[in-house]
Structure 1
C-alpha cells in the first residue's frame, strides 16, 4: 500500500512541475506561480517533471536505476523551488520524502552489491571442470540412514555439487516479539566452504537488509536499518562457530550430494539416526541427524550454535517436512529453526523453499 502511495506522490509532484514550464512559456493562465520564470528555468522545470515521471515508472517496474533518477530530480526540483520560494515552498516536503526513500533504496542496493561481488568472486574460483557423477561407491562408507537419504533424494548418478543457489520466503522473530516476513537469496560453495546469505526483511512496511557472510573460516553478520545504519554488526569466534553449524545444516538439508565431504566424520547410531562432526579449519562442530523410515531427513540437532543476541549456546534444531522435487532432486520444502531454551522450545524462523539450483556458473 505504501509503495503505491509513494509512487502517487512522486507522480503528482512531477506533474506539478509542468506548471513551471507552462509559466515560463506562457501556456495557459498559471496563477499558482506569481513570480516570473525565465525560459531556461522553464526548461529545467520540464526536465524535472520528466525525471519524476520516469522515476515513478522505473520504481513501479522495480528497476534498480529509479533511486538515481529520483534523487537527481529532487535536487533539481529543490533548487527551482528556492527560486520561487513563496509560491512553491511546500514542494520541499515532497522532495524531502522522495530524497529519503531514494537514498535509502540506493543504500540497500549498494549493500546488496557487496553480496553480489562476493558471489561472483566465489563462482570465478569454483572448479567446474572436475564435475563427475556421484556414484554408489562414493556413499558406501556412510552410515546406512545417510546412504538411504541420499538415494531417496535422487542425488546418486547426478553431478557432484560444487555450489548452490537457494531462494527462501519466510518469517523470523526475536524472543518476545512478533514474526516479520522476509525473502532471502543465498549461495553456498562446497570445495572451500562458504555461505553468502542476503535477506530483505519487512518491518513496519520498511525494508531492512541483512547479510550473513561465511568465508575463509570466518563469519560476519550485518543488519542495516534502511541500508544506512548498522543495527547488528557481529563477528568473532562465537559467530564463526555458529555459522559453521549453519553451513553444515545447509549441506545436510539442501545439498545431500555434499555429504561425502572428507571434512565430515560420521558415526552410526541406529537405522534412523547418525552423528556427524564437521571440521572447517579451526571450526569444529557436531550434529545429530534424524531420518524417517521413508529415508527423509526430518531433523538436525546441534549443541554447538550460539544465540548471537545473547552470546550463549543453546540446543539448535531444524525440523523439516514436505519433500518435493526441486532442482532435480527431492528436497524439503518447509523447515523451522528452533532454539531449545531452558524454559522450552522457541521457533524463531519459518522457511519455505522457493527454488534451488546446483552448480551455478554465473550470478543471476
Structure 2
C-alpha cells in the first residue's frame, strides 16, 4: 500500500515538472508559474520529470539501485523549486519524501554490498573442477540410510558439490512476538567452509535487512533497519558454534552431496537414523539424522546449537517435507526451525525453498 502511494506521488510530482518545460518553450499558458523560465532551465525541468518517471519504472522492475536517480531527481527538483520559490515551494514536501526514502534505500543497498563482496571471494575459493564426479565408491563409508538418501537425491555420477546458491521465502519470529515475512539469499562454500546468508524481513512495514556471515573461522550477525540503524550486532565463539551447526544443517538438507566429506565421521544407529560428528576450525558438533521409508531425510536434531539471544544450548531440530526436483536433484522444499526449550517446542522459522543451484561460477 505505502509503495503504491509512493509510486503515485512520484508520477504526479514528475508530471507537474512538465509545466516548467511548457513555460520555457511557450508551448502553452502556465498560470501556476509567474516567473519567466529560460529554455536551458526548461530542459532541466523536463529532465526532473524523466528522472522521477525512471525511478517509478525501476521500482516496478525491482531494480535495487532505483534510489540513485531518486536522489538526483529529488535534488535537481529542489534546486528548480528554489528558482520559482513563490509559485512552487509546496513541491518541497514530495521532494523531502523522495530524498528520505531514496537515502534509506541507498543505505540498505550499501549494507548489502558487504555481502556481495564476500560472495565474490567465497566463489573464487570454492570453484568446482568440471570433471570431478561423485561415485558409488564415495558412499561406501556412509551408514546405509545416508547412502540411500544420497541416491534418492540423485547425486551419484554427478559433479561433486563445492558451493551452493539458495533462495528462501518464509516467516520468522522471536519468542512472544508475531511472525514477519522474509526473503533470503545465501551462498555456502565447502572447500573452505563458509555460509553467507542475507535476509530481508518486513517488520511494521519497514525493511529490516540482516547479514549472517560464517567464514575464516569467525561468525557474525548484523541486523539493521533500512541497513542504517543497527538492532543486532553479535559475534564470538558462541555464535560460531551455533552457525557451525547451521552450516552442517544446510549440508544435510540442501547439499547432501557434501556428506561424503572426510571431515564428517558417522555412527550407524538403525535402518532409519544415523549420527554425524562434524569438525571444523578445532570445533566438533554432533547431529542425528532421521529418514523415512522413501529414503528421504525428514529431520535433523542437534543438542550443540547455542541460542543467539542468551547463547545457552537448547535442542535444535529442522523437520522437513515436500520434496521436489531442483535442476535434477530431489530435495526438501519446506522446513521448519524449532527450539526445544524447557517449557516446550517453539517454531521460530518456516522456510519455502525457491531456488537451488550447485557449483556456481565466480562470475555468477
TM-score, normalised via structure 2 length: 0.95
3-state SS in 2 of match to 1:117: helix
Aligned to 2:315: 315
Q: Within 5 A, what are the aligned runs for 1:30-109?
A: 30-109=30-109
Aligned to 1:175: 175
Aligned to 2:117: 117
Shift of 1:161: 0.8
Contact 1:240 1:283 in 2 (8 A): no
Quick one: distance in 2 between partners of 1:76 and 1:156?
59
Quick one: distance in 2 between partners of 1:227 and 1:90?
30
Shift of 1:29: 2.4
Aligned to 1:354: 354
Mean alpha-carbon deviation: is it higher for 232-241 or for 18-27? 18-27
3-state SS in 1 of match to 2:133: coil
Quick one: distance in 2 between partners of 1:276 and 1:199?
28
Q: RMSD in angstroms over aligned alpha carbons? A: 1.6
3-state SS in 1 of match to 2:28: coil
Contact 1:78 1:92 in 2 (8 A): yes
Contact 1:279 1:285 in 2 (8 A): yes
Shift of 1:306: 1.6
Residue deviations 1:294-317 (CA, integer Å, cap 9, x gap): 211111111111221222221110
Mean alpha-carbon deviation: is it higher for 111-120 or for 25-34? 25-34
3-state SS in 1 of match to 2:321: strand
Quick one: distance in 1 between partners of 2:259 and 2:84?
69
Residue deviations 1:22-57 (CA, integer Å, cap 9, x gap): 233333222222344344433322221221122222
3-state SS in 2 of match to 1:304: strand
Contact 1:150 1:257 in 2 (8 A): yes
Shift of 1:215: 0.7
Aligned to 1:242: 242
Quick one: distance in 1 between partners of 2:131 and 2:234?
36
Aligned to 2:28: 28
3-state SS in 2 of match to 1:151: helix
3-state SS in 2 of match to 1:348: strand
Structure 2 regions of 5+ residues with no counterpart? none
1:297 is the counterpart of 2:297: yes
Shift of 1:204: 2.8
Mean alpha-carbon deviation: is it higher for 224-233 or for 104-113? 104-113
Mean alpha-carbon deviation: is it higher for 281-290 or for 41-50? 41-50
Residue deviations 1:307-364 (CA, integer Å, cap 9, x gap): 2122222111000011122132111111000011111111110001112111111454
Contact 2:125 2:191 in 1 (8 A): no
Quick one: distance in 2 between partners of 1:141 and 1:119?
32
Quick one: distance in 2 between partners of 1:19 and 1:113?
39
Quick one: distance in 2 between partners of 1:40 and 1:157?
67
Aligned to 2:263: 263
Aligned to 1:344: 344
Contact 1:51 1:69 in 2 (8 A): yes
3-state SS in 2 of match to 1:239: helix
TM-score, normalised via structure 1 length: 0.95
Shift of 1:65: 3.6
Aligned to 1:159: 159
